[in-house]
Chains A and B, each alone.
Chain A
Amino acid sequence: MYSVSASHAIGLIGGLIALPLALVGLRFHPRRRSVPGTVQAAAVLMAITGGVHLALIPDHLDSEPFTSALFLLNGVAFITLAASFTWRWWRLSSSALLIATVLGYLIYVGIGLEGPDQVGIATKLVEVTALGLVLVPVRGEHAAHRGWRHAAIGVAMPLLIVISGATVWIVDLARPDARHVHAGALLQATNTIPTPAQVDAANRLYAETKTAITPYQDWRQAWAAGYRPGGSTSLPSTHWMNQRYVDAGYVMDPHRPQGLVYANTHHGPVLLGAMFQMKSLNRFGPDPGGPMTAWHQHENICFTPFGFEFSLMTPYATCPIGAIDISAPPMLHVWIVDNPHGGPFGVDIDPSVVAALDRT
């Protein structure tokens, strides 16, 4: 969702090529001055989305001929409408095409025929904006159904944006690709099945780390060693970070893990495990256990200094005000408590384990 799919990148180029062509075409259109700027702007945006759809045809032609045919129909229809903005039924047909295209994309994404990506979302934003421009009445223009058109803008635009965002987001979280897990965390690429040597290496790393951090079961010792809660302690668990170890950049040193994870129970912090963290983004650490010890990087999280809290960036690349979009450098957890769903190196701890610790 936050990246450009390789097969869709050409769509961006198609859209960018269509933009200057549309502007030039508009400049020399004989009846350009007879329509308001909103119509001209909508025509340009429709030409862009037409260009995106046409550019996607070659890449889909072999694998998805039906989709390619739809792209062709869509692209031609958008460009034809972009050029014929003086037509009597232009507003009605443009609105219908724009709404149908957005809904069609959502159906495709919803049933898994298309993966949500940046090109798709950007194109939908352009289409919804074009819809608003098609519908908005202009002062000084003899506009029929002015009230209805304003009402349509007020309903259709928010509805399409919210439904598109929700669909794309739900699909992305419910059907992540092989390298995306746990609310969009990017996994290190590894082999699929661990070799016996990798299993041994993973077991060694686990044993060494567990022994090294056992003293920190007493949180006071962790505090004395320089670990501090890195977020709210009202959550089920909190990462305690050692800034000195983070700055030093130790790489997967069981005696100097950059973080410790504590469950916040009613009888105080209970140690769940350690967290190794790399110093820089996109540089995954050593992976002795192959798929068992794959690192992960949290991308596109909205971080706020207020309480050191996080949420997820929306598909539209927005965060709540007071929060900024960041990515955290690659990390690897080692859980010293039983973690039935993720294992000892799982990306996340099973919430039921934390809840059970709180009950004891």
Chain B
Amino acid sequence: MITPSSTSRPEIAYVLLLVQAVLWTVAGLSALPFALGGEIHMLGLGLATLLLALFVCLVGIGILWRRRWARRVAIWLEALCIAGSALLFLLPIGANHGPVALITNLVLPGAVIWLLWGRRTRAVFA
């Protein structure tokens, strides 16, 4: 039985951030073979993406531990993701608009913001 005052929103956000971190890890790793093929900038982008994935993982742990900074960082990060993804969805550059892109780039960040938003949720963060 859980107490009425407790909320598991931070735990749900933690799981979503972990999923996002792994997705970025895959994106970072996917750039590395191209670096081996001679695209040297892809090495930098791949490593930067892996660092971002690690950072998102740490933010997720911070949220699990109810740290205020983690909540703030997560909201900003996800807002940035949504803004970038919305641009990709709107610009006529042939970006993928399939259900996976929708889930990964819009629904997941939107869900994290929704989970961490609001006065009641903010109150549980130290």
CB of A62 within 8 A of chain B? no
Sample of 9 further A-B pairs with CB below 8 A, known A234-B40, A309-B39: A122-B100, A132-B15, A136-B14, A138-B2, A158-B25, A232-B41, A309-B34, A314-B26, A328-B94
Is A133 in the interface zone, CB < 8 Å from B?
yes
Interface size of A in residues (CB-CB distance below 8 Å): 65
Question: Are B14 and A232 in contact (CB-based, < 8 A)?
Answer: no
Bound CA–CA A161/B20 (angstroms): 10
Q: Is the CB of A314 within 8 A of B27?
A: yes
Are B95 and A122 in touch, CB under 8 angstroms? Answer: no
Q: Are B19 and A317 in contact (CB under 8 A)?
A: no
From the candidates B8, B31, B92, name the one contacting A36 in the complex (CB within 8 A): B8
List chain B positions with a Cβ less than 8 A from chain A.
Answer: 1-4, 6-12, 14-16, 18-19, 22-28, 30-31, 34, 37-42, 44-46, 48-49, 52, 66, 88, 92-96, 98-101, 103-105
Lowest 7 CB-CB distances: which A-B pairs, in order? Answer: A327-B94, A317-B101, A140-B6, A132-B15, A37-B8, A307-B41, A318-B27
Cβ-defined partner of A125 (8 Å) among B2, B14, B95, B100? B100
Q: Is the CB of A38 within 8 A of B95?
A: no
Contact B8–A38 (Cβ < 8 Å):
yes
Which residue of chain B lies nearest to A133 when distances are taken between CB atoms in the complex? Answer: B15
Query: In the complex, are the beta carbons of B94 and A157 less than 8 A apart?
Result: no
15 A-B pairs with C-beta separation under 8 A: A2-B98, A12-B99, A37-B9, A138-B8, A157-B19, A232-B40, A232-B41, A234-B40, A235-B38, A306-B44, A309-B34, A317-B96, A317-B98, A318-B104, A328-B94
> Would B42 and A140 count as touching, CB distance under 8 A?
no
Residues of B within 8 A of A316 (CB): 23, 26-27, 100, 104
Chain A: residues with CB nearer than 8 A to chain B?
2-4, 12, 33-38, 41, 118-119, 121-122, 125-126, 128-129, 132-133, 136-142, 153, 157-158, 161-162, 165, 232, 234-236, 281, 299-300, 302, 304, 306-307, 309-328
* Identity of the chain B residue whose Cβ is nearest the Cβ of A301 in the assembled complex: B94
Kindly state the separation between the CA atoms of A299 and B94 in the bound complex, as whole angstroms: 7
Q: How far is the CB of A291 from chain B (nearest CB, A)?
A: 24
CB contacts (< 8 Å) of A128 on chain B: these are 19
Residue in A153, A306, A317 whose CB lies within 8 Å of B100: A317
Inside 8 A of A325's CB, which chain B residues have their CB? 88, 93, 95-96, 101
Given contacts A316-B23, A316-B100, contact A232 B88 (CB under 8 A): no
The CA of A317 and the CA of B24, in the complex, are separated in Å by 10
The winner among B8, B19, B34, B66 for most chain A CB atoms within 10 A is: B8
Taking the nearest CB of chain B, how far is it from the CB of A161, in angstroms? 5
Chain A hits for B26, CB < 8 A:
161-162, 165, 314, 316, 318
- Distance in angstroms from B101 CB to nearest chain A CB is 4
Please report the C-alpha to C-alpha distance between residue A157 and residue B21 in the assembled complex, in whole angstroms. 11
Indicate if the CB atoms of A313 and B6 lie closer than 8 Å.
no
